Structure 1
Amino acid sequence: MPRYEYRVVPAPEKGKKAKGAKGTSGRFAVALQDLMNEMGAAGWEYQRTDTLPCQERVGLTGRQTTFQHMLVFRRTLAAEAVSDEEVTALLAAPEDEPEADALEEPETAEEPADPQPEKRDAVAAARDVAAALSARAREGKAPALGPATQGDKPGSKADVAAE
């Protein structure tokens, strides 16, 4: 089963001037088209647009609910992704106990060290993600949405409107 990572970006709020784009709807379409082409070039596939409520502070003690329009993109993860069994084992393992495999030293000099260091790195990354998700769940918070790494962010404000 393929695994995906998701990226959620705000929809453009203003249109872009372009040759042949007339009126508000034409300029907005150009801004949306540019954003979608930019994300597609980076390997992200458009999934849907969602409108979600967001509480904002107003003044010192007030709160106001606004609605944010978000574009959802996804892309397939690399083949080195962690398997379902490994994720289940990581979630079932207590967080404060170190991994038994990490503490073991090779018993003899003839035994090879670690034939798959990339897989071990993927398992460690999955353990970190699982720990973060578990901590957020204990606090009663939903998982954070957005880019997986800082390197996925667009280069400038002109690339993605309102980011």
Structure 2
Amino acid sequence: MIFEYKVVPAPTRGQKARGVRSAEGKFANALEGTMNELAGDGWEFLRTETLPSEERSGLTATATKYRSVMVFRRPRADDPSAFQPKELEAPKAAELPAPVVAAPAVAAAVANEPPLTEQQNEEVTPERAVESLNADGDDTAGGWGEASADVTDISEALKQRADTTEPPKT
């Protein structure tokens, strides 16, 4: 697993809190506050370190001071080994799409249909379909001739209306 690190200065002064009276308690409260704040952002406390730091003292002199720091870490967001897939849940009834309802005309037509006979209920093969069309002597694609005639009549009426209307004035 790949980590990223964050180093922050350790508190140097204590922090007041209700019920905390001693200097050690106030200092521990300050440490606790810092640790909890960073833990809320996903950082895990790793350790504290005391490290030397050279600082300027006066115009030309340097002095070595020791600083205490707190080291935190967390897994990197782009680390593929940190990926843990969620378990899929079945969708709840409220999340499912609404059932499709047939148009009222279709529902009425289906309701008024007589039940299928045993012969109609048999499996229809392409050969049987061709036989039934040839037997009827109807070349209107299985009874759709009337519907296509209605569509043709409507198309003709729309064409005539388009010819008689005046073009819009611009």
Which structure: greater helix fraction? 2
Greater RCO, 1 or 2 (C-alpha within 8 Å, sep 6+): 1
TM-score, length basis structure 2: 0.46
